[in-house]
Amino acid sequence: MPPSAEAATGPAGTGSPDALLIRRTMAEVTPVADKVTSYFYALLFVRHPDLRSLFPAAMDTQRDRLLRALLTAAEHIDNRDVLVDYLQKLGRGHRKYGTRPEHYPAVGECLIGALSKYAAGVWNPETEAAWVRAYTTISQVMIDAAAADELRAPAWWYAEIVAHDLRTPDVAVVTVRPDQPYPFLAGQYTSVETPWWPRIWRHYSFASAPRSDGLLSFHVKAVPAGWVSNALVHRARPGDIIRLGPPAGSMTVDHTTDSGLLCLGGGTGIAPIKALVEDVAEHGDRRSVEVFYGARTDHDLYDIDTMLRLQQTHPWLSVRAIIDQQAHVQLPDAIRTYGPWDEFDAYLSGPPGMIRSGVDVLRDVGVPSERIRHDSVEELVAAGS
Ligand X SMILES: NC(=O)C1=CN([C@@H]2O[C@H](COP(=O)(O)OP(=O)(O)OC[C@H]3O[C@@H](n4cnc5c(N)ncnc54)[C@H](O)[C@@H]3O)[C@@H](O)[C@H]2O)C=CC1
DSSP assignment letter at 208: S
- Contact (Cβ atoms closer than 8 angstroms) between residue 158 and residue 178: yes
Nearer to ligand X, 15 or 351 (CB): 351
Residues in 5-24 that interact with ligand X by CB under 6 A: none
Which strands make up the sheet holding 157-168, listed edge to edge? Answer: 201-205, 189-193, 241-244, 157-168, 171-178, 216-221
32: which residues sit within 8 A by CB, 6+ positions away?
Answer: 118
Task: Write phi, then psi, for 156 (nearest 5 degrees).
Answer: -155, 170
Q: How far is the CB of 204 from ligand X (least distance, A)?
A: 4
Q: List strand residue ranges (DSSP E) for 249-306, in order.
A: 260-266, 289-295
Q: Which of 194, 205, 217, 376 binds ligand X (CB under 6 A)?
A: 205
| CA dist., res. 334 & res. 179, Å (int) | 42
Nearer to ligand X, 108 or 178 (CB): 178
- Binding letters toward ligand X, positions 95-134, x by CB under 6 A: ----------------------------------------
Q: How far is the CB of 144 from ligand X (least distance, A)?
A: 30
Give the range of 10-18, 100-108, 239-247, 263-271 binding ligand X by CB under 6 A: 263-271
The residue type of 211 is R
| Helix 17-29, helix 125-150: angle, nearest 10 | 100
- Binding letters toward ligand X, positions 290-329, x by CB under 6 A: ----xxx---x---------------------x-x-----
Q: How far is the CB of 59 from ligand X (least distance, A)?
A: 22
- Contact (Cβ atoms closer than 8 angstroms) between residue 79 and residue 86: no
Q: How far is the CB of 330 from ligand X (least distance, A)?
A: 4
Nearer to ligand X, 9 or 349 (CB): 349
Q: How far is the CB of 203 from ligand X (least distance, A)?
A: 8
Which CA distances in Å does 38 have to 32, 86, 165, 180, 220? 10, 25, 40, 39, 31
**Residue at shortest CB range from ligand X:** 267
Q: How many CB atoms lie within 10 A of CB 200?
A: 20
Which CA distances in Å does 45 have to 49, 110, 112, 151, 254? 5, 10, 15, 30, 45
Residues in 347-376 that interact with ligand X by CB under 6 A: 349-351, 353-354, 357
Query: Could you tell me which of 380, 343, 348 has the C-alpha nearest to residue 361?
Result: 348
Residues in 331-350 that interact with ligand X by CB under 6 A: 331-332, 349-350
- Binding letters toward ligand X, positions 211-250, x by CB under 6 A: -------xx-x-----------------------------
Q: Is 187 in the site for ligand X (CB under 6 A)?
A: no
Residues engaged in binding ligand X (CB under 6 A): 204-205, 218-219, 221, 266-269, 271-272, 294-296, 300, 322, 324, 330-332, 349-351, 353-354, 357, 380, 383-384
